[in-house]
Amino acid sequence: MKLEKSLVYGLLASILMVSAPHAEHLPPWVIAFGAAVLGWRAYLNFSGMALPPRWLLFLLSIASAAGIFLSYRTLFGREAGVTLLILLAALKLLELRAARDATVLIFLSCFIIITNFFYSQSIPTALMMFASLLVILSTWVHLHSGSLGLKPRLAISAKLLLQAIPLTLLLFVLFPRVQGPLWGMPQDAYSSSGLSDSMAPGTLSKLSLSQAVAFRVSFESFPPLREQMYWRGPVLWDFDGVTWSNRDGVIWSNRNAGTAQRNKPPQFDNLDQAVEYTVTLEPHNKKWLFALEMPTRLSVANFMTDDFQVQSRNAVTARIRYSAHSQLTFLANVDESPLQLQRALTLPKGLNPRALQLAADWRASLPGDDAIIRTALGRFSRDGYSYTLEPPLLGAHGIDDFLFETRQGFCEHYASSFVFLMRAAGIPARVVTGYQGGEPNALGGYSIVRQSDAHAWAEVWLKDRGWIRIDPTAAIAPGRIQGGLSAAMPDSAALPFLARNQSPWLLNIRFNLDMLNHQWNQWILGYDTERQFAFLTRLGMEDISWQKMAINLLTGVALTVLLIAILLLRKLYIRKIDTAQLLYLKFCKKLSRGGLMRAAHEGPQDFATRANMDMPQHAEAIRRITALYLAMRYENQPDESGLRALHRAVRAFKI
């Protein structure tokens, strides 16, 4: 059987549609080779020339496998496997000879659809794959009913997809979920944009140019004020003159262990003003779980470090959702261990002499810690400091340069120099990084925290009051804290598009899109074991075991298929419900037992004529039944007596 030209084009389109999204991450030679093979096949189809010989296909297959091995050093795994699959599918097109090959290609296309979700599970990807599926299905329909036009083919495919939707929903809701991803994904599969465990001038200002979503938060009740929304991330202790980090953490904890004086656990003395909320955290390949200061409880496995960083045991490589409790007012570690305080006073030697001098002057002239803090903040707000995303470069004595010369900086400059001044003045202090604020999405009832909300602030330890948050940025640019980055920056600044204030309708579209994304993440991608149980409980299936779930699933599938079948067959049934026709069909069945089949297009009278010639002994009965049937079916108003007569005649009829 020779395949139709248009069918081959359909198969080409199917393969092209499912492989095209992969082009983003395929090696250039694979794209060129694949395009060449598809183009070649299209040309052969167009010109009606013969397909290449098998030995050439064999060589090409070996060559492409070798090429993939050279590119990836393996034939397995996500990258190499997908590439191999695509190339072999393209080569299969070249040996498309019979309907069997077409069927194989159709299944291959469906399988390549799945591979696209290894890379992206976003809404556009899903829509694109849905469209591909429609094309594949219509090609399949084409394969089996060649005489249909394109439109009826698409209509049948769309109908098939629609019929599949109830089953899809059922499988989606009821299929037992496994904890964690179904297939082991390599680490490199996840983006790792976000806060890191160190901070140098430029780290945060660079990050704040990214409009990527860090996490989304929905508050159980009324959200706290923006000024109170400090999402705590990495806490940085050790300063080398340029970079703040935690590189000496091990040394300090060893020293602690030597003195047998353990770090004090975090404690909250004044539990007031509780906030409950749910965070949907985008994967960032680090361990931090962000929560409002100070978190008291998280719904996922976590531990809290001595400096109140909430961390997960493993790097966050998949989108996770957790609910959290936080106390907005707190007393933190009033009895901090002396060693920790000592660490919070350590400064690099021989750097920033002017800042050291300034702090020493303050300590000598001012009455206490509070006054020093106030003076430092006052200096930022009064002495010509400005808040900018593009600060000038700083020299070896970075803090001195900033404090006395350039006086332009982003939040990391202010946090860094403030902590330096505090330590120099003898007040234990540390840098805290994280996110500040968030953009409320009024439509979805949640807030979006983006990378552009990344922030750094300071914590000082005061006697009897513990660790206290001081945000020096609030002193220089209060708008940053109250209104977000865009409120604090002049319009000309190199702000990311999304961080700017925009016209209301644009904002509205953005909110709508993000809400759609949020719902997609929450309900489609984030539909995990926990969600499933919660959802099923709401449906009245409490504490369901997976066996029961499987039974429910099978029952549901069976019922759905039955329902669809009934709906589909009802059309045929309605046509057959005509009593006269039913009786006549019974009559035809009796005749067919005698070896006389009525063709589907054969009219009753023609059939009767033929039957009479075949079985003259039954001529009278056949004539009578046919006449009764014609009268009942095609003449006005079939009457009961006629139907009964037909019934009797058919019953009495015997071959």
**Active-site residue list:** 411, 455, 471
- Three-state SS for 492? coil
User: At closest approach, how far in Å is the CB of 152 from other proteins?
Assistant: 5
CB 499 within 8 A of CB 452: yes
Q: How far is CA 608 from each of CA 581, 602, 618, rounded to the nearest angstrom?
A: 15, 10, 10
User: At closest approach, how far in Å is the CB of 630 from other proteins?
Assistant: 5
606 is an interface residue for other proteins by CB under 8 A: yes
Q: Find the binder of other proteins among 220, 602, 620, 639 (CB under 8 A).
A: 602
Q: How far is CA 611 from each of CA 214, 588, 592, 630, 652, rounded to the nearest angstrom?
A: 80, 10, 10, 16, 17
Distance in Å from the first CA to the final CA of the chain: 42
Residue 214: phi, psi to the nearest 5? -85, -50
Q: Are strands 386-387 and 466-470 parallel, antiparallel or unpaired?
A: unpaired
Structural tokens at position 531: 């969600």
> Is 262 or 570 the residue whose CB approaches other proteins more closely?
570
Return the residues of window 281-320 that contact other proteins according to CB under 8 A.
none
> Is 47 or 636 the residue whose CB approaches other proteins more closely?
636
Nearest to 501 by CA among 511, 491, 509, 492: 491
Is the omega angle on the peptide bond into residue 489 within 30 degrees of 0, that is, cis?
Answer: no
In sequence order, what are the beta bridge partners of 230? 436
CB 450 within 8 A of CB 210: yes
Q: Find the binder of other proteins among 603, 616, 620, 652 (CB under 8 A).
A: 603
Nearest to 217 by CA among 227, 229, 233: 229
643 is an interface residue for other proteins by CB under 8 A: no
Beta strands in 265-311 (DSSP E): 272-281, 291-292, 295-298, 303-304, 310-311
User: At closest approach, how far in Å is the CB of 626 from other proteins?
Assistant: 10
User: At closest approach, how far in Å is the CB of 42 from other proteins?
Assistant: 22
User: At closest approach, how far in Å is the CB of 604 from other proteins?
Assistant: 7
605 is an interface residue for other proteins by CB under 8 A: yes
581 is an interface residue for other proteins by CB under 8 A: yes
Draw the binding track, 110-149, toward other proteins (x: CB under 8 A; -: no contact).
------------------------------------xxxx
> Is 602 or 639 the residue whose CB approaches other proteins more closely?
602
CB 282 within 8 A of CB 236: no
Q: Are strands 295-298 and 238-239 parallel, antiparallel or unpaired?
A: unpaired
- Three-state SS for 427? coil
User: At closest approach, how far in Å is the CB of 155 from other proteins?
Assistant: 10
Q: Are strands 320-329 and 295-298 parallel, antiparallel or unpaired?
A: antiparallel
d(CA 607, CA 413) in angstroms, rounded, equals 97
578 is an interface residue for other proteins by CB under 8 A: yes
User: At closest approach, how far in Å is the CB of 622 from other proteins?
Assistant: 15
Size of the site for other proteins (CB under 8 A): 21
- Kindly list the strands in the beta sheet with 272-281, ordered across the sheet, starting from the edge strand earlier in the chain: 295-298, 320-329, 272-281, 213-219, 446-450, 439-441
Region from 48-56, 112-120, 122-130, 602-610 binding other proteins, contact rule CB under 8 A:
602-610
d(CA 86, CA 580) in angstroms, rounded, equals 57
User: At closest approach, how far in Å is the CB of 621 from other proteins?
Assistant: 19
Residue 416: phi, psi to the nearest 5? -65, -50
Q: Find the binder of other proteins among 604, 622, 628, 646 (CB under 8 A).
A: 604
User: At closest approach, how far in Å is the CB of 612 from other proteins?
Assistant: 15
User: At closest approach, how far in Å is the CB of 609 from other proteins?
Assistant: 10
User: At closest approach, how far in Å is the CB of 16 from other proteins?
Assistant: 24
Nearest to 283 by CA among 323, 233, 317: 317
Nearest to 193 by CA among 447, 446, 389, 452: 452
Residue 304: phi, psi to the nearest 5? -110, 130
Tell me whether residue 244 is exposed, middle or buried, using C-beta atoms within 10 angstroms of its C-beta: 0 to 12, 13 to 18, 19 or more.
Answer: buried
Nearest to 631 by CA among 620, 645, 644, 642: 642
- Three-state SS for 244? strand
d(CA 611, CA 147) in angstroms, rounded, equals 33
> Is 144 or 374 the residue whose CB approaches other proteins more closely?
144
571 is an interface residue for other proteins by CB under 8 A: no
Nearest to 277 by CA among 328, 341, 325, 346: 325
2 is an interface residue for other proteins by CB under 8 A: no
Residues at the contact surface with other proteins, assessed by CB under 8 A: 146-149, 152, 575, 578, 581, 599-606, 630, 633-636
